[in-house]
């Protein structure tokens, strides 16, 4: 059993001595670093850092870490986030009719592989209620249409607030979230909170019916892309991509079947990276410290 750790993610303007400053701060408080990853983007003049250290023996109590990190980040002119490895944030899974993403995420959560809780599943169709409830999640049916989108999203936001949701996962939700929804749940910064799985190898086959179009084009590999959701459809920062070989013998149905495995894998890996706080966003792209 690994002992609990604190994780600091920080993005700030690049300059010399940043690694020293951050690790010096941890060391000054008696912390033992178990992982330290950094990345400099010369084009943007940015420095990204993820430092993870053991809480045992660390001089500051948990509640004092965040304010101290805040002061540090302010001094560096950056943004930051502090998390603890034994904290299991509440996530909501948005679904439509397809069950594979939901079932896979719930199973991985139950098995302890994904360190989160899933108190809430929201579906625009009622089909997946039994699966949600089997795993102890509340299922809320929020039908959505062009006519009622604003009210439906207001209801969704209310549910998210009621359940203390910090992460939304779109597991084949097949609906576009409005800019307003995003602004209210996930204000734009380096620490996104909505993950989607797209059923193609982006940027190939953006938009609808990617498997049909992949079949038409006769590609030899298909794939899936897990990405953060932004206002630009299928244009958010990519977290993980998975591909699988297909042949001329595969019909569209076979592409869909093989694609489901890619979708499950890419989404699960992306959520795992997110929960381990190994993903940071800059310039519309991700740094993945795995």
CB of 180 to its own copies, least distance (A): 26
Query: Which residue of 97, 141, 183, 285 would you call a contact of its own copies, by CB under 8 A?
Result: 285
In angstroms, how far is CA 182 from the centroid of its own chain? 14
> Residue 183 to residues 106, 108, 149, 189: CA-CA distances in angstroms?
27, 29, 15, 11
Q: Is the dihedral of CA 61, 64, 69, 72 positive or negative?
A: negative
Q: Is 243 in the site for its own copies (CB under 8 A)?
A: yes
Residue 284 is a binding residue for its own copies (CB under 8 A)? yes
**CB-wise, 52 or 153, nearer to its own copies?**
52
Query: Which of 4, 36, 115, 119 is close enough to bind its own copies by CB under 8 A?
Result: 36
Closest approach of Cβ 287 to its own copies, in Å? Answer: 4
Interface with its own copies (CB under 8 A), residue from 44, 67, 220, 233 = 220
Token pair in block for residue 144? 């959505």
Among 44, 71, 221, 233, binds its own copies (CB under 8 A): 221
- 86, 234, 250, 290: which one is catalytic? 234
Residue 27 CB, shortest distance to its own copies, in Å, is 4
From candidates 265, 267, 271, 275, binder to its own copies by CB under 8 A: 265
What DSSP state is assigned to residue 178? P
Window 169-208: residues binding its own copies (CB under 8 A):
201-205
Find, among 84, 95, 184, the residue nearest to 137 by Cα: 95
162 is catalytic: no
Nearer to its own copies, 47 or 181 (CB): 47
Whether the link from the prior residue into 273 is cis, omega within 30° of 0, is: no
For the chain, first and last CA: distance in Å?
20
The reply to whether 146 sits near its own copies by the rule CB under 8 A is no
Q: How many CB atoms lie within 10 A of CB 279?
A: 25
Q: How far apart are CA 290 and CA 288, in angstroms?
A: 6
Helix (H) or strand (E) holding 78: none
Q: Which range binds its own copies by CB under 8 A, 74-82, 148-156, 166-174, 231-239?
A: 231-239
Per CB under 8 A, 133 contacts its own copies:
no
Based on CB atoms, which residue is closest to its own copies, 135 or 154? 135
Burial 225-261 (b: 16+ CB within 10 A, else e): bbbbbbeeebebbbbbbbbeebeeebeeeebbebbbe
Residues 42-101 that bind its own copies (CB under 8 A): 57, 99-100
Considering the rule CB under 8 A, would residue 139 count as an interface residue with its own copies?
A: no
- Binding residue for its own copies, selected from 73, 105, 239, 271, defined by CB under 8 A: 239
Alpha helix stretches (DSSP H) within the chain = 18-28, 62-76, 100-110, 129-134, 149-162, 179-185, 210-217, 252-275
Q: Which residues are catalytic?
A: 234
Binding site for its own copies (CB under 8 A): 15-21, 23-24, 26-28, 30-40, 57, 99-100, 103, 107, 111, 113, 134, 201-205, 217-221, 223, 237-241, 243, 245, 247-249, 257, 260-261, 265, 268, 283-288, 290
């Amino acid at each position: 059993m690994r002992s609990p750790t604190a994780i600091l993610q920080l993005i700030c303007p690049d300059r010399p001595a940043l690694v020293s400053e951050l690790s010096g701060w941890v060391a000054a408080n008696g912390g033992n670093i178990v992982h330290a990853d950094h990345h400099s983007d010369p084009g943007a003049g940015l420095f990204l850092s993820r430092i993870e250290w053991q809480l045992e023996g660390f001089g500051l109590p948990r509640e004092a870490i965040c304010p101290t990190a805040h002061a540090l980040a302010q001094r560096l002119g950056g943004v930051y986030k502090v998390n603890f490895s034994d904290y299991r944030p509440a996530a909501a899974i948005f679904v439509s009719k397809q069950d594979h993403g939901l079932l896979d995420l719930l199973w991985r959560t139950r098995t302890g592989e994904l360190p989160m809780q899933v108190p809430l599943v929201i579906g625009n169709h009622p089909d997946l209620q039994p699966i949600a409830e089997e795993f102890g999640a509340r299922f809320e049916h929020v039908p959505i249409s062009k006519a009622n989108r604003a009210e439906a999203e207001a209801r969704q936001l209310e549910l998210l607030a009621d359940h203390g949701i910090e992460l939304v996962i779109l597991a084949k939700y097949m609906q576009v979230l409005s800019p307003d929804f995003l602004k209210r749940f996930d204000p734009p910064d380096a620490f996104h909170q909505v993950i989607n799985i797209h059923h193609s190898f982006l940027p190939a086959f953006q938009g609808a019916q990617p498997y049909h179009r992949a079949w038409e084009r006769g590609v030899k590999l298909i794939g899936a892309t897990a990405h953060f959701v932004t206002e630009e459809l299928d244009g958010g920062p990519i977290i993980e991509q998975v591909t699988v070989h297909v042949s001329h013998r595969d019909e569209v149905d076979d592409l869909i079947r093989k694609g489901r495995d890619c979708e499950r894998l890419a989404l699960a890996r992306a959520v795992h990276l997110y929960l381990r706080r190994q993903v940071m966003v800059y310039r519309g792209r991700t740094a993945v410290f795995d």
